[in-house]
Chain A
Amino acid sequence: MGLDLKDILKLYRDPILARRIVDKIWEYSKKVDKVMIMHVCGTHEWTITHYGIRSLLPDNIEVRAGPGCPVCILPAQDIDSIIKLALDEDLTVLSYGDVSRAKGGSGYSLEDSKALGFDLKIVYSIQDAYEIALSNKDRKFIFFGVGFDTTAPSTAYMILKGVPDNLIFLSSYRYVPPSIGYIIQAEDIMVDGIINPGHSSTVTGMAPYRKYFESKPIPMVFSGFEPIDVLISIYMILRQIISGEYRMENEYSRSVTWDGNVKAMNTLFKVFKLLDGLWRGIGVIDGSGFEFKDEFRNINARYLYDLEYPNKDSHMPSGCRCADIIKGKITPIECPLYMKMCRPDKPIGPCMVSIEGTCRIWAEHMILSKAGET
């Protein structure tokens, strides 16, 4: 093709095209009442925030973050468990960078608790974890498996390939499609359209979403992560709402297919089984938690050390209505804690803790829109 990666990315960040799409979104916004579009992906939120997409949208088009960041929905119990285990058993914890900052039930993250005396190493990938374990045979390591169906296949792959015997795992991986099902099947759902997660869907494919879509059709667009991708996806959802014909549409056709990455999915299910999974701030979602199959007990820290499998959100602060906010039932200002006890500088619920949380975004975005009016 002769086009460099940089040039391709430039096409998807083109300010003139962005302006044209935004104009069209404004035009369409006049034909609809209030529209709430939910995305369920930390990286979509990053794109939306980083490029200031909300500041370009009309007031009646809201884009809200759903339960889409593995770090935010990571059960507090698992964070506490791994900290305690690392201290008791003198393990070095290998963790992704953002995971190391997620707060446990006691309000402390891996990064905070490191000061108590265990070793924490940040890794970019499972292979980096593997290499560290291999070259430090005198130490014992635990890899904190956090992420979605996007991330878990790499762990499954390495485990099948064989890992050094000084490396064990704790799985807090979650399966995304049931969480979308949970959102759209909720009786009191207020969401008018969903931006589906492009990279998770790259692995799972669009197919697992069909049953949820058919059970309750709602505009659903599988979206890429450049600003133009997100703007087009918002446009596509509005187009569906106006035409009244709801579909599963694929904006991210350069990466997402109907069947997804079959090899990755097969690898994933060779190592993991699905249990009901706890999503912090939301509750238990059926068939959404990846746990190691029995034949992998020898590397499964949960089995080896009899760690609790999180099944209830015992650490949710009282009064916090994060779950309702994530479902789109209420806006942050309807939560009694919002901007009173719970603020960006003193967060209580996961929606305020994470920079991708809806409350956090509201808190910061409202300041910005006020600034825009003056």
Chain B
Amino acid sequence: MMDPDVVKMVHGAGGVEMQKFIKNYILKYLSGSGAEVPLEFLDDSSVYNGVVLKSDTYTVKPIFFPGSDIGRLAVAGSVNDMLMIGAEPKALAMGLVIEEGFPFNDLERILESVSKTASEAGVYVITGDTKVVEKGALDKIIINMSGIGFRHRYLDHNIGVVAKYRGGVDFRWLLDRNIRPGDKIILTGYIGDHAIALLSVREGVGFKIDIESDASPLNEIVDKALEVGGVVAMKDPTRGGLANLLNEWSDKSGYGIKIYEDKIPIRDEVRAACGYLGLDPLELGNEGKAVIAVVGEKAEEVLDAIRGTELGRHAEIIGEVTDEYKFVVMETVIGGRRIVPQPIGDPVPRIC
């Protein structure tokens, strides 16, 4: 049999395999820019000469799903990635690749959604490109959404607060590697909504559930958190979910993270769907949540500020950074402890 030494779905699934792929292929050829936050940091965005730059490409099946669509996803996703390192997103560039035969009706729905979400996030699409490919060359539509942003108006104040409690800091942006023992971890709301909403309409697996994708720009949450100050890192738990995010933080910082199962906000219906399909909510992707590491002393205050926002009402402190070990550990509801491994690929329903 031919050896499938080719790109596989798992290389884009946001877990261990994707990280290996990026290191072995992308970074092999494309590192060494000398940018302030370069590609090789593998953070949510990069920084060059004070400009925050992000590129993200969206493909989702189906393109319209409960509560959202590929257009909203693209804007929210790109905007959030810029917000997460401490930027205010300013402008977007949109690349459309469309399959021949795609209905104008659907295209308009997507564009309307792009426009509406962009205005929620306070950004405009100011440039772009469209290509049409032959029928069958891709499935309906792919959107690339790139963006630029600038240093958040509260970022220096925020880092000043961190410096006060840590006795100085060695970073200018909110990077994954910044977390230190004693930092508290805030999750801004229910996890799993997006992945479960999407799964519920997938062929072969579908089920009925009254839930919507959480895809949303997180500007307000970030503004409020940075205004209080003390935030050391932020990241949105998209592909690979909370489990992937916390493992990335742990890997890049060299510290461990302890989380408490009973503190993690999960809706009953997401729990039930995970129960019967055999999925782990920690591995489910989200598109409108942030995980925020804050110096311990300011955690409660930042939490209150986040809870005061529309999207952050259900925020919780779910754990803390520790130097007891170098990986992610969860204290379970019955008082046991388990390692939270980095997911390998997209979660799939299991029989065993």
Contacts and interface: CB of A to CB of B under 8 A. Distances in A.
**A and B part of one assembly:** yes
B330 to A, nearest CB: 7
A43 B348 contact: no
B1 A52 contact: no
Contacts of A70: 351-352
Contact of B332 (A50, A71, A128, A146): A50
Given A96-B350, A121-B203, A19 B335 contact: yes
A98 B352 contact: yes
A111 B335 contact: no
Binding site of A, secondary structure by majority: helix, strand, loop or mixed? Answer: helix
B324 interface: yes
Contact of B336 (A14, A53, A80, A114): A53
B333 A115 contact: no
A228 B4 CA distance: 44
Interface in A34-58: 41-43, 46, 49-56
B351 A96 contact: yes
A79 to B, nearest CB: 11
Interface stretch (A281-289, A324-332, A364-372): A364-372
Residue of B16, B256, B345, B351 most packed against chain A (CB within 10 A): B351
A132 B203 contact: yes
B327 A367 contact: yes
Interface residues of B, number: 40
A55 B338 contact: yes
A113 interface: yes
A94 interface: yes
B337 A111 contact: no
Interface stretch (A99-107, A262-270, A311-319): A99-107
Contact of B351 (A19, A94, A98): A98
Contacts of A128: 204-205
Contacts of B137: none
A54 B278 CA distance: 21
Given A49-B338, A128-B204, A112 B352 contact: no
A190 interface: no
Interface in A54-112: 54-56, 69-71, 80, 83-84, 87, 94, 96-101, 106, 108, 111-112
A51 B352 contact: no
A111 B205 contact: no
A124 B1 CA distance: 29
A114 B324 contact: no
A159 interface: no
A101 B345 CA distance: 10
Residue of B205, B268, B334, B341 most packed against chain A (CB within 10 A): B334
Given A42-B352, A98-B352, A151-B351, A18 B204 contact: no
Contacts of A239: none
B349 A124 contact: yes
A219 interface: no
Nearest to A230: B334
A307 interface: no
Interface stretch (B5-13, B118-126, B217-225, B232-240): B5-13
Which 8 pairs, one residue from A and one from B, show the smallest C-beta to C-beta distance? A52-B336, A97-B348, A42-B352, A98-B350, A371-B325, A52-B338, A18-B334, A123-B204
Interface of A: 6, 13-15, 18-19, 22, 41-43, 46, 49-56, 69-71, 80, 83-84, 87, 94, 96-101, 106, 108, 111-116, 121-124, 128-129, 132, 146-147, 151, 227-228, 231, 345, 355-356, 364-365, 367-368, 370-372, 374
29 contacts: A6-B268, A19-B335, A50-B280, A50-B332, A51-B333, A51-B336, A52-B335, A55-B336, A56-B334, A70-B351, A70-B352, A83-B1, A96-B349, A96-B350, A96-B351, A113-B4, A114-B9, A115-B4, A115-B6, A121-B204, A122-B205, A122-B349, A124-B205, A132-B203, A132-B204, A146-B351, A231-B334, A365-B339, A374-B325
Given A52-B334, A122-B349, A146-B351, 4 more contacts: A18-B335, A50-B332, A114-B8, A368-B337
